[in-house]
Amino acid sequence: MEQLLSQLNEQQREAVVNTEGPLLILAGAGSGKTRVIAYRIAFLICEKGVPPWNILAVTFTNKSAQEMRTRVQRLLQGQELSSAPWVSTFHSLCVRILRQDIEQLKESYSRTFTIYDQDDSLRLIKNAVKDLGYDDKHLGARSVQSAISSAKNRGEDVEAFAARADYVDERRAAIARVYKTYEERLHANNALDFDDLMIKTVRLLRNAPEVRDKYNRKFRYILVDEYQDTNSLQFALVSLLTQQQQNICVVGDEDQSIYKWRGADITNILNFEKHFPNSKIIRLEQNYRSTQTILDVAGAVVKRNTERKGKNLWTSNPPGERVRYYQAFDAEAEARFVASKIREHRNEQPNIRAAVLYRTNSQSRVFEEAMRRAGLPYNIVGGFSFYERQEVRDIIAYLKLALNPTDSIALQRVINSPPRGIGKQTLEEIDRRARDFGLSIWETIALVIEKPDGLSPRAVAALKNFRTIIYHLAELAGAPLPRGTGVRGPRRGSPAGVLDPPVGDAQGAFNSESFASPDEHAQDAHATLAQVAHVTLSDSPVSDVVKAAILDTGYEIALKSEKTDEADARLENLQELVNAAVDYDEQGVEGLREFIDHSALSSDTDQYKSEVPVTLLTAHSAKGLEFPLVFIVGLEDGLFPHSRSATDPAELEEERRLCYVAITRAEKYLYVTHAMKRRVYGEELASEPSQFLNEMPLEMIEDLTMGKSWLSFARGSTTIDYPQDEPHKEKRKYMGKTYDSVDSIAEFFKLRGQQMGNTRGSSPPIVTKSAPRRSPGAPPLAHPQDEGGTSDFVPGSYVRHAKYGRGLVLRREGVGDSTKLTVSFPGHGQKKLVQKYANLESA
């Protein structure tokens, strides 16, 4: 341990050895935060003799949890440990607690509850919107989902939400009714959505003193990573868990707070000392990751934020090279540039790892393509994960059904996939009857099989077939379902663990008939966590059940008979799913349930290989990672910063922090690029450089663009700093001929025309050399061709609308009569208007 401690600097060491009482570690980017947490855990175990199971470390993503586990493991190598410390995400921690104790909540949820991911929850909301008779045009399921989610995260239940929805606000009242139905149906399905996982856990700990006490005694030392991103529920959870011992250590950095949109509450970290009296604060300000230049650039950008305490991040690393800049013609050219630079770097340093950071996942496609073309193996983080693929979700749905057939979302998903003759008509009829009798769909199927009442024999046969498949899977899983109309589940079965494996008969699962009815078995609601984790009663491995879900359902045959490349790829994915299941082969229902939980809670592919030359990811998912070579791409106005943040200064600051996070991922080399035009929704749009580029010290940037670029214009003029709070007054001064991307495109064509000896073609007007720089974000001048009258309505200018009043033009699309403007009106939100009909005047 002595030797371990000597590898840390003074502040880091302080952070490690101060194990007792509340501790706030303010850790700047690259200051060795993960290292400190790992050492701290090792220190607690080795030096303080704390048993590993008394330690809990919570992170936000699976990726960082995994990283943490590996680090701790490496430090403790050689140590014989009886168990590992709990390192988990907030959500998986909640799942583990709820799987154990949710019945103490007395809300008639059973421990066999199903987790609904965002997609499942969206389906449920869609159904609810439809069944309540609302027009899904007016009440988009997605926006309802986000309204409900943020209500939940504010701690507003249905009643509170409805109370705030007075009769004036019809839309809100409608959402309130959907919210109510949604909650009822979640409950009827014995299902919890992501937000519920937090909510129910907090409620459980609040309302059940004995449960709270149990976990307080269990988790004697708690660490929370990325504390600046915690929301009020997560704060409540942490407070409840540390009520008794107060050994709470949180690590965070206000400059890296990028999840306010998801309810993160920065005051959690700012008021830590108030929440936890007698707390210590330690600052980690030495950066070990980046060159001085990269750090300076990052600092210059984030300095523009006003909502900030500020800190003194320094490094003893060499200055390194300048940041490199490239202005690409379009998104494809940008990707080609990045790929070729990565190859150049790898020629110099064969094993250098590169990352491409973009604002939105939709940008990843071009880069994938370019990497493939350049023969660079790449790894893509986020986007559609493995578990989000249709075929994988289908098989998971079968598995969910085997454990909980009342899960109507899973049932609807697979009842007819692969096609087995249960069509829309049949489903609607069943749905109607289910509602009439107040039964779940599964229960109704049983009813219909006995009393078809007008349903075609063919449909009944198909339903029977489907039911047999589920019966079979349930038996194989070691959780046999009662035959006939008898139904169990949270609503009628005994609440405790009816779905749990039969105790004391290892053969049970294989002998399907003998377990047609569930055995009575002792259920200790207060079983210890260890007991739950090691229930190994049924003999069938998880992978066998997964295989059965692929084969016995006819899924494989259906795919094989398709004989398309796509079907083959799907089959391969399913093989991959079986492989994943092999890892979970600790047998039995608990193993299967854990497997399913994992699939719901892992959004990013965890088999992310760090040795791969190139990693493609969003700036958000890059947080916590570092790469010697980093490309920040798409630095364009409206993209990064994103246009959705244009109207709110606080949101713009969050975008800036995101940019800060992106820059500080780089160790040695940083490239920043933008394209002059880009396709958005299939439409080609000219794009302006990001204001964040302008906030970087220009002398620290090297221009790699062939010919003229935005940067060369920017350099040609004196830098004008306008005060943060009053940008508009200053900006309006620059009304001379300015840079904009149309001119740059003109420049590009001219240049290319010269290179190719081609002087023909209608070159747009060329920009004058002496052009002063326009500060990005300022109103660009009208293009020469639309001079007069309407030419003022360009992005950045203000207009007046008869109904909405004064608004800011954000985007302009199309030409002539079809010109559309996206305008943001304070109090009315963004509107898309056809310029010809909108009767706008400039304001």
Binding interface with DNA (CB under 7 A):
60-63, 89-92, 118, 137, 140, 142, 194, 258, 261-262, 359-362, 365, 382, 416, 419-426, 459, 601, 603-604, 618, 620-621, 642, 644-645, 651, 679-682
Place of tokens 């979700």: 393
CB of 362 to DNA, least distance (A): 4
Q: What is the CA radius of gyration of the chain?
A: 30
DSSP class of residue 639 equals B
Q: Is 256 a catalytic residue?
A: yes
Phi, then psi, of 262 in degrees rounded to 5: -105, 15
Q: Which entry of 665, 731, 750, 774 is annotated as an active-site residue? A: 665
Instruction: Give the up-direction half-sphere exposure of residue 318: CA atoms within 13 A in the CB hemisphere.
Output: 5
Residue with Cβ nearer DNA (462 or 499): 462
Residue with Cβ nearer DNA (594 or 703): 594
Q: Is 225 a catalytic residue?
A: yes
Residue with Cβ nearer DNA (261 or 437): 261
CB of 140 to DNA, least distance (A): 5
Cα separation of 342 and 345, whole Å? Answer: 5
Q: Which entry of 12, 201, 256, 673 is annotated as an active-site residue? A: 256
Residue with Cβ nearer DNA (301 or 810): 810
CB of 171 to DNA, least distance (A): 16
Structure tokens at 839: 């009767």
CB of 245 to DNA, least distance (A): 25
Q: Which entry of 193, 225, 394, 688 is annotated as an active-site residue? A: 225
Residue with Cβ nearer DNA (587 or 615): 615
Structure tokens at 351: 């094993």
Closest CA to 73 of 33, 39, 36: 39
CB of 277 to DNA, least distance (A): 30
Q: Give the total residue count for the chain.
A: 843
Q: Is 226 a catalytic residue?
A: yes
Structure tokens at 514: 């003998």
Residue with Cβ nearer DNA (127 or 440): 127
Instruction: Give the up-direction half-sphere exposure of residue 761: CA atoms within 13 A in the CB hemisphere.
Output: 14
Cα separation of 662 and 644, whole Å? Answer: 19
DSSP 256-325: G---GGGT--THHHHTHHHHSTT-EEEEE-B--SS-HHHHHHHHHHHTT-SS------B--S---PPEEE
Residue with Cβ nearer DNA (650 or 706): 650
Residue with Cβ nearer DNA (457 or 827): 457
Distances (CA, A) of 561 to 77, 713, 787: 50, 60, 62
CB of 425 to DNA, least distance (A): 3
Closest CA to 528 of 112, 198, 218, 222: 218
In contact, 301 and 256? CB cutoff 8 Å? no
In contact, 313 and 295? CB cutoff 8 Å? yes
Cα separation of 699 and 715, whole Å? Answer: 9
CB of 142 to DNA, least distance (A): 5
Phi, then psi, of 355 in degrees rounded to 5: -130, 140
Q: Which entry of 12, 34, 228, 822 is annotated as an active-site residue? A: 34
CB of 793 to DNA, least distance (A): 22
Q: Dihedral (C-alpha) 359, 360, 361, 367: value to the nearest 10 degrees?
A: -60
Phi, then psi, of 686 in degrees rounded to 5: -75, 140
Phi, then psi, of 288 in degrees rounded to 5: -105, -5
Enzyme catalytic residues: 33-34, 225-226, 256, 665
